[in-house]
Chains A and B, each alone.
Chain A
Amino acid sequence: MSKRHVTAIVNGDPVEFLCTPEQTLLDVLRDELDLTGSKECCSSGDCGACSVTLDGRLVCSCLVLGAEVEGKRIETIEGVAKGDELHPLQQKFLDHAALQCGICTPGILVAAKALLERNPDPSETEVRFWLAGNLCRCTGYDKIVRAVLDAAAEMRGS
């Protein structure tokens, strides 16, 4: 199978890569672009650990083909902090001890950021349903939900 040439914008930077027709966007991010922050835990879109945004839309990158992203804008966990500044969500996750093993954390942060961009003042229920596609086996979600609500409050205040 011949490889396809694709150009896209990842975390604001232009990238180009070659990918086989079967490679997913997650494969491309991890294996071709060395962006291993997005995690592969199910390959079926059930766990959310590979969450990225594609032209602003939250997707599981394991369910998108690499060849599909021609000309698109992709945001991954590696682009969430800006320079020395952690995103408020990242800081609140640390403050609230909202991660244990941390493997789900990149996907949850990307998903939560997408939520707050749409809804700066979500209720607890809205946070819980928005993040229902992101599995976490360690925390029981309590501290995650609190961290997201606290980050939202801080972002509204600033």
Chain B
Amino acid sequence: MATNPIDVERARSKQLRWVGTRGPRPDGIDKVTGRARYGADFNLPGMLVGRVLRSPHAHARIRSIDISKATALPGVKAIVTRDDFKDMPSEFVPAGEMMVNYRDIVRNVMAREKALYEGHAVAAVAATSPSIAREALRLIKVDYEVLPHVITAAEAMRPDAPLLHEDMITMGVEPAPTKASNVAKRVEFKTGDVKAGFAKADVIVERSFTTKPVHQGYLEPHACLANVNEAGQAELWCTTQGHFVVRSHCAKLLEMELSQIRVVATEIGGGFGGKTVVYLEPVALALSRKSKRPVKMVMSRDEVFKASGPTSGAHMTIKIGARKDGTITAGEAELAYEAGAFQGSPIQPGCMCAFAPYELENAHVVGYDVVSNRPKVAAYRAPGAPISEYAVEAVIDEIAQKLGLDPIEMRLKNAAKAGTRALYGPKFGPIGLVETLEAAKKHPHYSTPLGPNQGRGVASGFWFNIGGESCATINVNEDGSVTLMIGTPDIGGSRASMALMAAETLGIDVSHVRTLIVDTDSIGYTFLTGGSRVTFATGMATVDAAKDAIRQLCARAAKLWEVPEDQVVWDNGFAKRTGENAANVAPMSLAELAAKAGKTGGPISGHAEINAQGAGPTFGTHVVDVEVDEATGRVDIKRYTVIQDAGKAVHPGYVEGQYQGGAAQGVGWALNEEYVYGADGRLQNAGFLDYRMPVTSDLPMIDTVIVEVPNPAHPYGVRGVGETPIVPPMAAIANAVSRAIGSRMFELPMSPPKVLKAVQARKANGG
């Protein structure tokens, strides 16, 4: 693909040749021709088919599991159950933006005492064909004692609710409760004096909101291929956001040394946070270890919905007070997030983000992490933030409407800026919220007249972004091309961004840079793709590795010129002499130095192994126009504009893509997507027909504006961009719908029956 010359010119004017251009995508050709190999596209000779037996019950004690008949079936090579996994002590470790507990992971991977949700893995088989594997599952006899179940946080928090974990005592409560409950944790954040704050308010709005669990909806189901030999050495190919994290989890669960497991991250068909944990991987390894054959496992779509993590549903009450001029005097929030069957909902970030876009003197946020008989939640794009910020942004909109203020002006009045202390502790450095609000106000979208039954909604959003451990290796090849190796799976074009940053730093043409995602044995520990960290943290490692290569290249030039190293500088792809007679010495290119590397000291390879610090937070503001069909309650998205700070857009095309994709997922969350349960605790819509994600004809073009307030911690000013785009849509759309129908909506999704009901209620009230 030719690089767009206009973009090159634009970037050059800012003294950058590659960063900021729409450069080629190293994996592009393979992905448009069908060559790219994803999780389910790997096979080995002698491979077995692995299948999982799953609980049909939402909550049941497992009295016994009889595998004798299944084991005797010809073609069955291995069966694993809870007996094949060692129990783990309760121990919290970070995984992505969430904490995990191995006591819970081992139980989620394979049910032990109880099945805690419909779809919970109970046993797994490896057989020579899919039909034999299916038959073997049928022959496994599980004796269940079916127990009463709870699905929502509200049900689970009742004093008489059936308990998922009979020993769960709520953490974060003083004194500790004496009785077990389904509330795993209480968290609290407080600043100032909310009572005094509300006393100063001219208007106070208090509202309760409900959101439903929604699935990340990655198109590629979980899939892996495991191969363990007689010595216990293992290879694992899997679709994951973090193969090093998969290695850690599998080693722990299977009591193996890390050095004995090599994990290859295949191409990944979407993740959005949902592929940061393990489901099939330890099971496939266990089956392969037992059968001494390669075992391939692929989830069906039904299994993805029932047994992999959606994000939390929630119940929330938000109270905000403001003066007539729009200044917020106090904010209060109580949030209960559903964690699924095991503790660990994103309640902590939910609480921390709730009021993060605003400078609040007085705020108080309390959150509860509540377990219920649903699949354990997994991270989903800015985990926790879209839920609480939806509720807060809806209340702010209602206050603006009550006070007759423009919603953007109301936000500008309270917007966090550099120096604002966030409720969760730190002071913000340079941030771009005000810039996005100003850009929204000036955007033609904001002043375009609306038609009948239409409403315009605005909302802002915040996400922390993270840094963390990343490694990069840059091999300078003999012909002057370079191979860049990194360990963060490329989920949306990050290889292209890394190539641009490497080319920029080295001063060579981007076409000479090949970026590869390498396996866990080829590079140092690298944390997963998540937290919007890759372009920031792996980008920093890439730049550092390039600088390391440059140091070596300069040293080689010094050797050839027989001058001290401090008389050589690197300038745009060339080593140059400084000092006396410098003008008479022709610069040497990277390619020339590479060709002579063998004679000047050996191969040249730049390395960086870092823990990146200083990820700059990202803010965005979305503007959306909707039209409501008052006869059916259907909401149409007529126009959508995403304005977000990127710090620096390394590859603007993929930055825009993140903005647009996040907005589209938000449209689904706002209008259609939800987990629907029957009275039996079983999921009723475990397929793409009934779990209705937005399709092409549901959406308009999604305009984007990239604001650039550089992050001082990154060499090119990068902030993470991937997660913030899913934060504002639910509130923006709720605010638009509320303004279109003249009645406030407090529940997601705003599906046609609910909108219709609201319209009819307004009409019944003479509206």
Starting from the known contacts A97-B493, A140-B657, 9 additional A-B residue pairs (CB-CB under 8 Å) come to A39-B38, A101-B218, A101-B269, A101-B271, A131-B695, A137-B661, A137-B665, A143-B657, A145-B701
Residue in B27, B300, B301, B663 whose CB lies within 8 Å of A102: B27
Residue in A127, A128, A135, A145 whose CB lies within 8 Å of B693: A135
Residues of A56-98 at the interface with B, using a CB-CB cut-off of 8 Å, are 76-78, 80-81, 86, 90-91, 93-97
User: What's the nearest-Cβ distance from chain B to residue A156, in Å?
Assistant: 21
| B665 & A99 in contact (Cβ 8 Å cutoff) | no
* Chain A binder among B28-36, B71-79, B548-556, B614-622: B28-36
**Central interface residue in B33, B654, B694, by most chain A CB within 10 Å:** B33
- Would you call A37 an interface residue if the criterion is a C-beta within 8 Å of the partner chain's C-beta atoms? yes
A38 to B33, CA, bound (A): 10
| A135 & B701 in contact (Cβ 8 Å cutoff) | no
Q: Which residues of B contact A (CB under 8 A)?
A: 1-2, 22, 24-25, 27-29, 31-38, 40-41, 131, 216-221, 267-272, 298, 300-301, 491-493, 651, 653-654, 656-658, 660-665, 687-689, 693-697, 699, 701-702
> Which residue from chain A places its CB closest to the CB of B496 in the assembled complex?
A97
**Contacts A35-B34, A90-B33; A97 near B660 (Cβ below 8 A):** no
User: What's the nearest-Cβ distance from chain A to residue B487, in Å?
Assistant: 18
Q: Which 6 residue pairs spanning A and B have beta carbons closest together?
A: A37-B34, A103-B269, A97-B653, A140-B664, A102-B31, A140-B660
A1 to B40, CA, bound (A): 25
A47 to B298, CA, bound (A): 17
**Contacts A47-B219, A86-B32; A41 near B653 (Cβ below 8 A):** no
- Would you call A123 an interface residue if the criterion is a C-beta within 8 Å of the partner chain's C-beta atoms? no
* Residues of B contacting A: mostly: loop
Interface size of A by CB at 8 A reads: 60
A114-158 interface code vs B (CB 8 A; 1 in, 0 out)? 000000000011011101111111111111111000000000000
A44 to B657, CA, bound (A): 28
> Which residue from chain B places its CB closest to the CB of A101 in the assembled complex?
B270
| A38 & B34 in contact (Cβ 8 Å cutoff) | yes
| B688 & A46 in contact (Cβ 8 Å cutoff) | yes
- Would you call A7 an interface residue if the criterion is a C-beta within 8 Å of the partner chain's C-beta atoms? no
- Would you call A10 an interface residue if the criterion is a C-beta within 8 Å of the partner chain's C-beta atoms? no
- Would you call A25 an interface residue if the criterion is a C-beta within 8 Å of the partner chain's C-beta atoms? no
A142 to B272, CA, bound (A): 19
| A97 & B656 in contact (Cβ 8 Å cutoff) | yes
Residue in B34, B660, B696 whose CB lies within 8 Å of A106: B34
| B33 & A80 in contact (Cβ 8 Å cutoff) | yes
| A135 & B300 in contact (Cβ 8 Å cutoff) | no
Q: Which residues of A contact B693 (CB under 8 A)?
A: 135, 137
**Contacts A96-B653, A138-B657; A41 near B219 (Cβ below 8 A):** yes
User: What's the nearest-Cβ distance from chain B to residue A113, in Å?
Assistant: 12
Q: Which residues of B contact A47 (CB under 8 A)?
A: 219, 688
User: What's the nearest-Cβ distance from chain A to residue B412, in Å?
Assistant: 27
A135 to B131, CA, bound (A): 29
User: What's the nearest-Cβ distance from chain B to residue A19, in Å?
Assistant: 13
Q: Which residues of B contact A22 (CB under 8 A)?
A: 131
User: What's the nearest-Cβ distance from chain A to residue B306, in Å?
Assistant: 14
Q: Which residues of A contact B702 (CB under 8 A)?
A: 140, 142
- Would you call A28 an interface residue if the criterion is a C-beta within 8 Å of the partner chain's C-beta atoms? no
- Would you call A15 an interface residue if the criterion is a C-beta within 8 Å of the partner chain's C-beta atoms? no
| A46 & B687 in contact (Cβ 8 Å cutoff) | yes
| B689 & A46 in contact (Cβ 8 Å cutoff) | yes
**Contacts A42-B688, A137-B270; A36 near B32 (Cβ below 8 A):** no
| B660 & A37 in contact (Cβ 8 Å cutoff) | no
A88 to B626, CA, bound (A): 34
**Contacts A41-B220, A44-B687, A145-B701; A131 near B33 (Cβ below 8 A):** no
Q: Which residues of A contact B (CB under 8 A)?
A: 1, 20, 22, 30, 35-44, 46-47, 49, 76-78, 80-81, 86, 90-91, 93-97, 99-106, 109, 124-125, 127-129, 131-146
Residue in A41, A76, A91, A136 whose CB lies within 8 Å of B1: A91
| A44 & B688 in contact (Cβ 8 Å cutoff) | yes
Q: Which residues of A contact B270 (CB under 8 A)?
A: 100-101, 103, 137-138
Residue in B301, B492, B697, B699 whose CB lies within 8 Å of A41: B301
User: What's the nearest-Cβ distance from chain B to residue A72, in Å?
Assistant: 20
> Which residue from chain B places its CB closest to the CB of A125 in the assembled complex?
B697
User: What's the nearest-Cβ distance from chain A to residue B531, in Å?
Assistant: 17
13 pairs, CB–CB < 8 Å, chain A vs chain B: A36-B40, A41-B301, A94-B29, A97-B651, A97-B654, A97-B656, A101-B268, A101-B270, A125-B697, A129-B696, A129-B697, A132-B697, A146-B701
| B269 & A135 in contact (Cβ 8 Å cutoff) | no
**Contacts A96-B653, A101-B492, A102-B27; A90 near B32 (Cβ below 8 A):** yes
| B32 & A41 in contact (Cβ 8 Å cutoff) | no
A95 to B301, CA, bound (A): 31
Q: Which residues of B contact A137 (CB under 8 A)?
A: 216-219, 270, 272, 661, 665, 693
Q: Which residues of A contact B661 (CB under 8 A)?
A: 100, 137-140
| A44 & B689 in contact (Cβ 8 Å cutoff) | yes
> Which residue from chain A places its CB closest to the CB of B41 in the assembled complex?
A36
Q: Which residues of A contact B491 (CB under 8 A)?
A: 100-101
A129 to B216, CA, bound (A): 24
A143 to B270, CA, bound (A): 17
A81 to B538, CA, bound (A): 33
A81 to B35, CA, bound (A): 12
| A138 & B29 in contact (Cβ 8 Å cutoff) | no
| A132 & B695 in contact (Cβ 8 Å cutoff) | yes
A114 to B492, CA, bound (A): 26
**Contacts A41-B219, A102-B36, A141-B664; A128 near B1 (Cβ below 8 A):** no
Residue in A127, A128, A138 whose CB lies within 8 Å of B492: A138
Residue in B298, B493, B660, B688 whose CB lies within 8 Å of A142: B660
**Contacts A86-B29, A140-B663, A143-B660; A77 near B34 (Cβ below 8 A):** yes
| B300 & A36 in contact (Cβ 8 Å cutoff) | no
Q: Which residues of A contact B662 (CB under 8 A)?
A: 140
A131 to B25, CA, bound (A): 24
> Which residue from chain A places its CB closest to the CB of B665 in the assembled complex?
A137
User: What's the nearest-Cβ distance from chain B to residue A87, in Å?
Assistant: 8
A142 to B139, CA, bound (A): 49
> Which residue from chain A places its CB closest to the CB of B664 in the assembled complex?
A140
User: What's the nearest-Cβ distance from chain B to residue A32, in Å?
Assistant: 12
**Contacts A37-B35, A97-B25, A135-B688; A141 near B219 (Cβ below 8 A):** no
A40 to B130, CA, bound (A): 15
> Which residue from chain A places its CB closest to the CB of B699 in the assembled complex?
A141
Q: Which residues of A contact B27 (CB under 8 A)?
A: 102
User: What's the nearest-Cβ distance from chain B to residue A134, in Å?
Assistant: 7
User: What's the nearest-Cβ distance from chain A to residue B275, in Å?
Assistant: 10
Q: Which residues of B contact A100 (CB under 8 A)?
A: 270, 491-493, 654, 657-658, 661
> Which residue from chain B places its CB closest to the CB of A1 in the assembled complex?
B131
Q: Which residues of A contact B1 (CB under 8 A)?
A: 91, 94-95
Residue in B28, B41, B216, B660 whose CB lies within 8 Å of A94: B28
A1 to B665, CA, bound (A): 44
**Contacts A81-B33, A136-B219, A138-B270; A131 near B696 (Cβ below 8 A):** yes
> Which residue from chain B places its CB closest to the CB of A46 in the assembled complex?
B688
A134 to B696, CA, bound (A): 8
A95 to B5, CA, bound (A): 12
| B219 & A97 in contact (Cβ 8 Å cutoff) | no
A128 to B695, CA, bound (A): 8
Q: Which residues of A contact B33 (CB under 8 A)?
A: 37, 77-78, 80-81, 86, 90
Q: Which residues of A contact B658 (CB under 8 A)?
A: 100
| B687 & A132 in contact (Cβ 8 Å cutoff) | no
A93 to B298, CA, bound (A): 28
User: What's the nearest-Cβ distance from chain B to residue A53, in Å?
Assistant: 14
Q: Which residues of B contact A35 (CB under 8 A)?
A: 34
Q: Which residues of B contact A81 (CB under 8 A)?
A: 32-33
| B696 & A43 in contact (Cβ 8 Å cutoff) | no
**Contacts A94-B24, A140-B663, A144-B696; A103 near B32 (Cβ below 8 A):** no
**Contacts A94-B24, A127-B696, A129-B697; A105 near B217 (Cβ below 8 A):** no
Q: Which residues of B contact A43 (CB under 8 A)?
A: 300-301
